């Protein structure tokens, strides 16, 4: 599996399986089993997805060396406050049946993020996490964390796909060498019939989903597409045996239209 070097020196797989909306039973367990079979070595979950138990079970069942699997989870908003973040991480570790996660993210930039970040820094020192990062943090939020902490975030996970590039958040992340992970990289499967994707896919003998994910990867963005279907998990995994020409990259860039499929980090209420 191809990896991207983070600002802390760790190599993060450039492809992972997202499990939001995969149920906390056979659905997530099978999806992870098929993902490992297809060569994925990176799973993206969160406390709020309510499936950390299934993720932990699937990883145990796979019997892969723990160091071969990159596991990301996230601190949900009600735990992003002084005195709660460490306990929330420990609860996630227990559900995931592991001593550490490779990456923990503050899920949304709610009040309390600076104190929560300092708790994550302590967890990093104690070896409970190998990297600490952010999710849905925009320019000002990133600067607040940089000012409050001693550790520069390794990753910022944001909504990113051909219809939404979030250039300002990416520029603010780049300034600190913070890697970007795309959530909803497939636009939740809703616009893969876009004619440009079909036209490009045909020329490379690939599918629209592979073209969209490849465009992300060629922009140095890590992808975590979600699927609970084996054929799609296999399809989404085949990204590293072709390269889009610059003209195709630019044509896809031109689809940007500021369209979100999830909440807006500048203005959310949960």
Ligand X SMILES: NC(=O)C1=CN([C@@H]2O[C@H](COP(=O)(O)OP(=O)(O)OC[C@H]3O[C@@H](n4cnc5c(N)ncnc54)[C@H](OP(=O)(O)O)[C@@H]3O)[C@@H](O)[C@H]2O)C=CC1
Rounded distance, CA 116 to CA 133, Å? 11
13 binds, among ligand X, ligand LYEC3VGP, none (CB under 5 to 8 A by kind): none
Is 42 annotated in a binding site? The answer is no
102 in contact with ligand X (CB under 6 A): no
HSE of 196 in the Cβ direction (CA atoms, 13 Å)?
15
Q: Are 158 and 128 in contact (CB under 8 A)?
A: no
> CA-CA distances (angstroms) from residue 240 to 19, 42, 79?
22, 15, 37
Residue nearest to ligand X (CB): 18
HSE of 84 in the Cβ direction (CA atoms, 13 Å)?
12
Binding residue for ligand X (CB under 6 A) from 110, 236, 239, 244?
Answer: 236
Q: Specify the DSSP element, H or E, that contains 103.
A: strand 103-106
Binding mask 217-256 toward ligand LYEC3VGP (x if CB under 6 A, else -) reads: ----------------------------------------
Minimum CB distance to ligand X smaller for 103 or for 124: 103
Name the nearest CA neighbour of 245 among 207, 269, 214.
214
Rounded distance, CA 230 to CA 66, Å? 23
Binding residue for ligand X (CB under 6 A) from 59, 186, 201, 252?
Answer: 186
Rounded distance, CA 63 to CA 178, Å? 31
20 in contact with ligand LYEC3VGP (CB under 6 A): yes
> CA-CA distances (angstroms) from residue 188 to 18, 160, 182, 183?
11, 11, 12, 9
Segment interacting with ligand LYEC3VGP (CB under 6 A) among 146-154, 200-208, 248-256, 262-270: 262-270
Residues 125-154 binding ligand X (CB under 6 A) are 135-136
262 in contact with ligand LYEC3VGP (CB under 6 A): yes
48 binds, among ligand LYEC3VGP, ligand X, none (CB under 5 to 8 A by kind): ligand LYEC3VGP
Kindly state the number of chain residues that form the binding site for ligand X, as judged by CB under 6 A. 26
Q: Point out which residues bind ligand X (CB under 6 A).
A: 18-20, 44, 135-136, 157, 183-189, 192, 209, 224-229, 232, 235-236, 262
């Amino acid at each position: 599996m191809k990896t991207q070097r983070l600002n802390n020196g760790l190599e993060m797989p450039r492809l992972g399986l997202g499990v939001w909306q995969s149920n906390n039973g056979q659905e997530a367990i099978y999806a992870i089993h098929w993902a490992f079979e297809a060569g994925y070595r990176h799973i993206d979950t969160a406390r709020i997805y309510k499936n950390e138990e299934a993720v932990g079970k699937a990883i145990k069942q796979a019997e892969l060396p723990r160091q071969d699997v990159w596991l990301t989870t996230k601190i949900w908003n009600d735990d992003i406050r002084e005195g709660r973040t460490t306990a929330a991480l420990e609860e996630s570790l227990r559900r995931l049946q592991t001593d550490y996660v490779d990456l923990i993210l503050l899920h949304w930039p709610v009040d309390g993020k600076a104190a929560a970040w300092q708790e994550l820094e302590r967890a990093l020192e104690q070896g409970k996490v190998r990297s600490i990062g952010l999710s849905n943090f925009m320019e000002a939020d990133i600067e607040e964390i940089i000012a409050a902490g001693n550790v520069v975030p390794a990753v910022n996970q944001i909504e990113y796909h051909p219809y939404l590039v979030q250039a300002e958040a990416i520029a603010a992340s780049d300034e600190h060498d913070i890697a970007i992970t795309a959530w909803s990289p497939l636009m939740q499967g809703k616009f893969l019939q876009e004619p440009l994707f079909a036209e490009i896919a045909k020329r490379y003998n690939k599918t629209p989903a592979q073209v969209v994910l490849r465009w992300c990867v060629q922009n140095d963005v890590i992808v975590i597409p979600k699927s609970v279907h084996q054929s799609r998990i296999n399809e989404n995994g085949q990204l590293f045996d072709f390269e889009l020409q610059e003209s195709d990259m630019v044509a896809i860039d031109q689809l940007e239209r500021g369209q979100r499929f999830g909440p807006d980090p500048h203005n959310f209420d949960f």
